[in-house]
Structure 1
């Protein structure tokens, strides 16, 4: 492409289409200009004959609205347009929010997919027909109460749904000029982390590795338990990320839902490579194939990303052969967390595990029992009781 091509204005094009709604069909405009792709509710579709009533459009009227939009866009007079809120529904706002997080915010495809499933199957199904101007906190609270009454979802899941609604309406405030966010006034469900999860001891991790179906699975189980990598990060690990001389494993990528991208935290991190991991990976690096810098450490027979569901089945089988309690493969990461907090400062553990918040790391502190706490406290009290008044006064003045 020549430098002249970069100076040419981006082509402006668009079309109208009719979106069916129980409350009345809408004429929609969709167009692309230099700022990207846009969509706007033009107005309610006129179904009758003769002159349409105010707020309604015929097909010809909708086309004229689009022609005016395209003309402004070609003149550069249509920058970040705010769409009229009149007639727009929650479904319209949800579609715009999904477009925003995918194309503007560049969220991972797996994240967008998960959001889209919830939005389409739950939120739009319940609130999609509601017009934004008519949507109130009472409507959203009724939706929350209905989910609670059904008893199928946890409080955390219900709160996640409410957070998504809040994000959709927050975007609608910017795009449609919506005056208030109705989700802001809805109370969340009380939810607390129990702090309970299962981990393995070092002996149990070794038993799991011995029961693995292959040396690669054994090395993967050891790396998960002693380096704390997520399954997606293990699937994307390459030999160039393993530095034996510096005793480090670099977590640069993650492979989830057939898409390789940055780790969940959005940041590259490095984890200490302890002897157990170094021995397992060193043995694996001596295999006949797939040992180059760009090759995957854990791969299938073709050297490509292995299937996660197949690995889970092999993990469960190895767990049974080893006679271990029914833990999940993600609990191997928890195993690393409980070991790490006993050795490293919390800030280091947070970095090693790729946590966004220190509160997440704190769950491992609460999980690790302080077996000597009673003994240490008793010793401190005994020491204080044996001290003379003069010694106590001296300690107080020193403090």
Structure 2
């Protein structure tokens, strides 16, 4: 049975006017407002009107709502509809805004406060890390522009939601980092030699009994380009809300249900040939494809992508695969996906790579993969010319008088 809302008229010693008060059925906390008068009969009429509005659903909280109550209200309303990774990202944005700006009510979510928050996110910070000698040392660092943009995107979504609920009169202005600045990978594609080092380091991190199960997961990420969460959800058979394999030789595909997709769309994606060769010999009728074992090798790990990702990062650290010298970041699960994208960017057209990587926008593909290959392409051109001429590199194309070099004339090159 729904709780009946009753508005009471109360007198506080420290206030001249009477106060209207009721208990919110959503938060369980008391909501109050001034009656604007010290006359009880007039206050009781206002209480009756407010009570009628509450029961009819016409009442909406306003910008005076306490920030902690607003966060609880947002979490109750929004968390059930979000993926686990999104929940974690929203929590980071909320926590950093709380810590840096100390809001007390919803009205504190203003343009000026957001501007100050952005500046604080970019400010140089210090943290204590373990040095090469095992002793703690203090290092300076800054959040990447990608992290700043992520926090601002989530806070902006919260502000828009508050505005739609009638809690915030206006959505504050957000100066988002320029896309060109943000378009830097947090890591980098690792090389084949570095991947082999990660495989060699696996046993030392997870133990002998579990090593092979973790190596299979690493190879699966390396050859398929799956995100870690997708790999942990991958099954041999069709499963609602999941990802499953459809192995059929050259026609093999990955099937993504809408709930498993970052884009929220149902999709069939070609499975890379190397992944087909890896998985076909171990094909089963049902169950999860990748089942990394606990350290004693007796049971499967809980299918927690965050925990499993941390273990893969420990493997990358143990292998000494440094992907960002500026921050000291070592290889993670996503760097295996980056390596997959980098390899295939040299083999297929950008539109095909977009489908293979399941990017929502071709801009992402061009920025992070195709656009990163300019130097590699330049080197390949010199190698190709060397193969044509029989030399490892061409001689100067012209002499001081501007005439073509004899070596290029002999090979049929013309200006």
Aligned to 1:199: 189
In structure 1, the residue matched to 2:372 is 367
Gapped regions of structure 1 (runs ≥ 5): 1-10, 19-23, 32-36, 73-77, 255-260, 286-290, 387-399
For 1:312-331, list aligned pairs within 5 A: 312-313=310-311, 316-317=314-315, 320=318, 326-331=330-335
Question: Is 1:187 equivalent to 2:178 in the alignment?
Answer: no
Question: What is the TM-score normalised by the length of structure 2?
Answer: 0.62
Q: Which runs of 5+ in 2 are unaligned?
A: 9-14, 126-141, 204-210, 238-243, 323-329, 386-392, 398-402, 405-415
Q: Distance in 2 between matches of 1:195 and 1:311?
A: 18
Q: CA deviation at 1:365?
A: 1.2
Show the 5 A alignment for 1:212-223: 212-213=202-203, 214-223=211-220
Counterpart in the other structure of 2:54: 69
Residue of structure 2 in register with 1:8 after alignment = none
Segments of 4+ in structure 1 off by > 6 A? 37-41, 60-64, 375-379
Alpha-carbon distance between aligned partners in 1 of 2:50 and 2:346, rounded to the nearest angstrom: 66
Question: What is the total number of aligned residue pairs between the two structures?
Answer: 335
| Match runs of 1:140-151 below 5 Å | 140-149=114-123, 151=125
Q: What does residue range 125-204 of structure 1 map to in structure 2 within 5 Å? A: 126-130=101-105, 132=107, 136-149=110-123, 151=125, 152-176=142-166, 178-181=168-171, 183-184=172-173, 186-189=174-177, 191-195=181-185, 197-202=187-192, 204=194
Alpha-carbon distance, 1:228 to partner: 0.4
Distance 1:275 1:375, change over 3 A: closer
1:349 pairs with 2:353: yes
CA gap of 1:314–1:111, structure 2 versus 1, over 3 A, is: closer
Superposed CA deviations along residues 141-178 of structure 1, whole A, max 9, x for unmatched, are: 23333443454533333333333333233223322174
How far does the alpha carbon of each residue in 1:248-284 deviate from its partner, in whole angstroms, 9 at most, with x for none? Answer: 3425379xxxxxx523232344444444323332344
| Deviation readout 1:61-95 (Å, 9 max, x if unpaired) | 8798446522x2xxxxx4xx461536335555544
1:50 deviates by 6.0
CA distance in 1, matches of 2:236, 2:332: 26
Give the counterpart of 1:228 among 210, 213, 225: 225
Aligned CA distance change for structure 1 residues 304 and 329 (closer, same or farther; 3 Å):
closer
Q: What residue in structure 1 maps to residue 265 of structure 2? A: 267
The yes-or-no answer on 1:243 pairing with 2:220 is no
Q: CA RMSD in A?
A: 4.7
1:294 aligns with 2:287: yes
